[in-house]
Amino acid sequence: MATDGNQKVLKLVWGVHNAPKDAPDKVVRQCESEAQALAVAIAAGHHKLAYVAASVGVSVAYLSRLQNGKRPIPEKLVGPLCSATGSNLLRQYLDLQRAIEGVSEVDRLARLLREAA
């Protein structure tokens, strides 16, 4: 098929070919924020911000704000970011934070139940 030369090659996200890998639990526990988890995943994969931003479909400036904690990471970008970086560190960190929050809620309700008895 002949083309006029205006077509560009579409690069596929790295994670399309290889599923993102889980990070060691020790690394997940040491992350202090979702922004740090994203920054570590990008750095560990030796990725450029431009590559990750293009893979996810956001601007480099916006990705930089996510990585620096100036913007919260939307839930809809967690999967694509994990695929683009090849690491599930961000998802694992968020899951850990939700689990920790759930434990504190259980403790709070248990305390209320004890106090009511």
Judge whether residue 104 has pLDDT over 90: no
Q: Is 73 exposed, middle or buried (0-12, 13-18, 19+ CB in 10 A)?
A: buried
Rounded Cα distance between 103 and 40, Å, is: 26
pLDDT tens for each residue of 32-50: 999 999 999 999 999 999 9
Furthest-apart CA atoms within the chain: distance in Å: 80
pLDDT tens for each residue of 20-31: 999 999 999 999
